[in-house]
Amino acid sequence: MAVALALAIPLGCGETASDPDTARCNAPNPSFSAVQALGDHNEVSVRFACEGVRLSGTAYLPLPAGPHPAVVWVSGDGPHKRLAFGAMVAMFLEAGVAFMSYDKRGVGESQGTCCPGDYGHFNLLAADAVGAANTVRVMPEIDSRHVGLLGASQAGWIVPLAAARSKSVAFTALADAPAVSQGEELLYSLLTGEEGGGGGVLSKQAISYRLKRAGPSGFDPRPSLAQMSIPGIWAYGGADKSIPADECMAVIRSLKTQGKDFTAVVFPGAGHGLLDDPPTDPRALPTLVRWVAETARS
């Protein structure tokens, strides 16, 4: 996962795009297509407004009719269109959990400029995630009390920010997601050789020492994590060369001791890409699905 610690988002020709701290999407003014019945599930195309643009996505609905809890997928770095119906979506639907995914800002049918998170700017992306959650909450097929955010990788910086700023998010579920700052993640990736073409010669202990000495820099999710008051789960691969799993687990566990309803799970030997197809550990997705289903119905 490449991280650029820039102070502005380059758009070309010297232009920059703002990413205001005030970005919010509490009233997304959504519109919905007619329900499309596809045998084993239903689909609805959705559009919603957020900070001057309209975003587009698809809601996948379980059968029989709801209301159902739901997850909103928050993409990682780079330009991503909405997830098509596949193994991950199907597993959530089988558990009775609706699934919504949207084209990232500036990608596919969504307006705006992609991709502010790749330059360390997460306010608009957090607002988009909240807007998507608020959109799903008004659907008659959805239990509005139980809509959460699901994501991987860069979503680890976006989702806690969104959850801390919105009362509409009921829970969060993340995989391969940094609970440390951008600078720490980038340094770790350099030391493991994941980034920069070097590294890979230091022991885990030596890398941890370097990270501790360096300290946080760039965007840091810790303040948002400390403000969260909802349940959350984090899944990590013990052999991830992009995300410092041990340091991230330590952050989550420390907050848990302070009374947060947080769960951290590590899959030894697994690398980055716990939710990829194929995954680095096939147990990760079922673990998250089971946790979401149980949490949403508790």
The mean pLDDT of the chain is 92
State the total domains in the chain: 1
User: What whole-number distance in Å separates Cα of residue 106 and Cα of residue 11?
Assistant: 12
On whether residue 200 sits in a domain, the answer given is no
Residue 187 placed within a domain: no
- What is the C-alpha separation between 49 and 27, in angstroms, rounded? 8
Cis peptide before 223 (omega within 30 of 0): no
User: Hey, what are 194's tokens?
Assistant: 């994941």
Q: How far apart are CA 159 and CA 178, in angstroms?
A: 11
**pLDDT, tens digit (0-9, with 9 covering 90-100), for 260-277:** 999 999 999 999 999 999
**pTM for the whole thing?**
0.92
Q: What pLDDT is stored for residue 14 in this prediction? A: 31
Cβ neighbors of 268 (< 8 A, separation 6 or more) are 238, 239
- Whether residue 280 lies inside any domain: the answer is yes
For residue 205, tell me if it sits in a domain: no
In the block, which residue shows the tokens 């269109």?
A: 81
Q: What is the pLDDT of residue 3?
A: 38
- Within 8 A by CB and 6+ apart from 254, the residues are none
Q: CA dihedral in degrees (38, 273, 80, 90; nearest 10)?
A: 10
With respect to residue 188, please indicate whether it lies within any of the assigned structural domains: no
Question: Which portions of the chain are predicted below pLDDT 70?
Answer: 1-17
Identify the pLDDT of residue 17.
60
Q: Residue 47 sits in which domain range? A: 21-181+219-296
Q: Nearest-5° angle of CA 281, CA 237, CA 250?
A: 150
On whether residue 198 sits in a domain, the answer given is no
Q: What is the CATH number of the domain that holds 133?
A: 3.40.50.1820
According to the model, what pLDDT value does residue 71 have? Answer: 98
Look-up: residue for tokens 């309209």? 54
* CB-based contact 121:19 (threshold 8 Å): yes
For residue 238, tell me if it sits in a domain: yes
SS (H, E, C) 217-243: CCCCCHHHHHHCCCCEEEEEECCCCCC
**What span, in angstroms and rounded, lies between the C-alpha atoms of 125 and 129?**
6
**What is the phi/psi pair of residue 276, to 5°?**
-70, 170
DSSP β-ladder status, 16-17 and 9-10 = antiparallel
Instruction: Give the per-residue pLDDT at 197.
Output: 74
In a domain, 203, yes or no: no
Beta bridge partners of 59: 44, 100
Nearest Cα to 168, choosing from 26, 58, 277? 26
